[in-house]
Amino acid sequence: GVITNTGGAVRVQTLPGQENYPAVNANGIQSQVLSRWASSFSVTAGAKDTALEAVGRSVSTARPSTGKRPKKTLDKKVGNKDCKADIAFLIDGSYNIGQRRFNLQKNFVGKIAVMLGIGTEGPHVGVVQASEHPKIEFYLKNFTATKEVLFAIKELGFRGGNSNTGKALKYTAQKFFSLENGARKGIPKIIVVFLDGWPSDDLEEAGIVAREFGVNVFIVSVAKPTTEELGMVQDIGFVDKAVCRNNGFFSYQMPTWFGTTKYVKPLVQKLCSHEQMLCSKTCYNSVNIGFLIDGSSSIGESNFRLVLEFVSNVAKAFEISDIGSKVAAVQFTYNQRTEFGFADHATKEKVLSAIRNIHYMSGGTATGDAISFTTRNVFGPVKDGPNKNFLVVLTDGQSYDDVRGPAAAAQKAGITVFSVGVAWAPLDDLKDMASEPRESHTFFTREFTGLEQMVPDIIRGICKDFLDSKQ
């Protein structure tokens, strides 16, 4: 078996297919380079299965009956656009794992990298090695092509020392995902922690830090402690305490480092399930905000500009992207005009530019009709989507129609309503439109210049409602 030194405790594992390898000394260090492991990486035309699987197509359906080879749908440079993720692989480099299993671990991480479909628009990956002290081996920004990532993984040297995984996890959560190191805005941050046996330090605090930073922690535990070994484990519940959410999705177990190929695809599918990344869902990147803007004649052109500035400043706080938060705007008088819908602009710059380009309509005030129109036409298409829905109604006067019925219908459709009144907007109307508790969803200012001070309160209100809905 492989004998590994775990700080005083000697651990013997009998592993299949071991006869062909040289002996391993008591530190688990084995210096011979395995020539075979490098060749198992390359995705050449010969390895059709892996190549096709990396494209995410099953081999059986990938060939049309004409007998012609299909064109590969995955643009190598761009990568798999359906798997938007920034991933740190936190590998075990301690004496616990030993040189030989360390190489098998590298091999496994390489296979995951191939199947992820790394590319400029797809997943980006980096590697951190946990040992006595953590070491960032390479950042997200260093390589955006699978070939380069594989080479970098192959070059990783084994460090040894204790498996201070907690220390390494905390360090990775705090230092790895900065914008200057290549983290992208609005894209889920993931740390995949590989653990051979058990950590020699505490994982709980590291797990809390990672959640505070909006990082999704996965734990891949290999060769978990046997009954006799449990006495040496500091905290038996270490997996549950470190993962993003203790719901079974974020933990993954493998019996040994041998024959791991079958575990690659299910793990990659998890890492690409954008909707399950609960820890990176924050109020900033997981909401749809619709603005319903009064364009009636009493406002006037210059005050209308102040209203648009208010709308821009609220929108600016959120991470707007095709997989993040979204913004829409409708202007109303007696009629309604959708200025832009949730699907129209996928970046913050485009949204802010669209808000600036809204032209003042001038006319009457039918707020109730406008709420019904917005609920149906703007929120209708996203009602089953993953984001939480908010409507901010801005008006400066009395509505000619009933607002209570339409507002209740909007709330029933899952939309949280904030009402913002200026000048002559009656408080009763504002309260009738607002979601419960009405006090915290109703805002009023005498002057249009007072809108500016309300921006932080609206943002805070949206975030509070978002968190409450997640509890």
78 assigned to some structural domain = no
67 assigned to some structural domain = no
Q: Is the same domain home to 152 and 261?
A: yes
- E strand map for 234-316: 251-254, 287-294
| In the predicted structure, residue 34 carries a pLDDT above the cut 50 | no
DSSP 8-state assignment for residue 179: G
3 assigned to some structural domain = no
Q: Is the same domain home to 253 and 339?
A: no
CB contact at 8 A, 418 and 392: yes
Count of structural domains, the chain: 2
214 assigned to some structural domain = yes
pLDDT digits (tens, 9 = 90+) for 249-301: 999 999 999 999 999 999 999 999 988 888 888 888 899 999 999 999 999 99
Question: To the nearest whole number, what is the mean pLDDT of the chain?
Answer: 86
Q: Is the same domain home to 371 and 392?
A: yes
Q: Where among 231, 248, 276 does a domain terminate? A: 276
pLDDT digits (tens, 9 = 90+) for 146-185: 999 999 999 999 999 998 999 999 999 999 999 899 999 8
pLDDT digits (tens, 9 = 90+) for 292-310: 999 999 999 999 999 999 9
Q: Is the same domain home to 262 and 302?
A: no
81 assigned to some structural domain = no
Q: Is the same domain home to 231 and 337?
A: no
Q: Which two tokens stand for residue 104?
A: 């098998």
Q: Where among 216, 249, 276 does a domain terminate? A: 276
| In the predicted structure, residue 237 carries a pLDDT above the cut 90 | no
In whole angstroms, give the CA distance from residue 15 to residue 223: 10
pLDDT of res. 55: 42
Q: Is the same domain home to 262 and 296?
A: no
60 assigned to some structural domain = no
398, HSE (Cβ side, Cα atoms, 13 Å)? 1
What share of the chain has pLDDT > 70, as a percent?
Answer: 84
31 assigned to some structural domain = no
| In the predicted structure, residue 218 carries a pLDDT above the cut 90 | yes
In whole angstroms, give the CA distance from residue 83 to residue 269: 9
pLDDT digits (tens, 9 = 90+) for 366-409: 999 999 999 999 999 999 898 999 999 999 999 999 999 999 99
φ, ψ at 61 (rounded to 5°): -95, -5
The residue whose two tokens read 């480092």 is: 257
Task: Say whether 194 sits in a helix, a strand or coil.
Answer: strand
Q: Is the same domain home to 256 and 112?
A: yes
Higher pLDDT, 23 or 260: 260
Q: Is the same domain home to 237 and 308?
A: no
Q: Which domain holds residue 326?
A: 287-468
Q: Where among 230, 257, 276 does a domain terminate? A: 276
Task: Say whether 315 sits in a helix, a strand or coil.
Answer: helix
Buried b (16+ CB within 10 A) or exposed e, 118-142: bbebbbbbbbbbbbbebbbbbbbeb
This prediction has a pTM of 0.59
φ, ψ at 337 (rounded to 5°): -135, 120
| In the predicted structure, residue 65 carries a pLDDT above the cut 70 | no
Q: What is the mean pLDDT of residues 117-142?
A: 96
Q: Which two tokens stand for residue 71?
A: 């064109």
Q: Is the same domain home to 140 and 236?
A: yes
Q: Is the same domain home to 166 and 123?
A: yes
| In the predicted structure, residue 36 carries a pLDDT above the cut 70 | no
Q: Is the same domain home to 416 and 299?
A: yes
Long-range pairs for 437-446: beta carbons < 8 A, 24 or more residues apart: 440/464, 441/416, 441/417, 442/418, 443/418, 443/419, 444/420, 445/421, 446/422
CB contact at 8 A, 224 and 251: no
Who's near 315: CB < 8 A, 6+ residues apart? 289, 291, 327, 348, 351, 352, 355
- Per DSSP, the residues of 379-410 read SGGGTTSSSEEEEEEEESS--SS--HHHHHHH
CATH number of the domain at 370, please. 3.40.50.410
- Lowest pLDDT segment from 114-128, 139-153, 209-223, 436-450: 209-223
pLDDT of res. 59: 39
457, HSE (Cβ side, Cα atoms, 13 Å)? 14
174 assigned to some structural domain = yes
Q: Is the same domain home to 242 and 334?
A: no
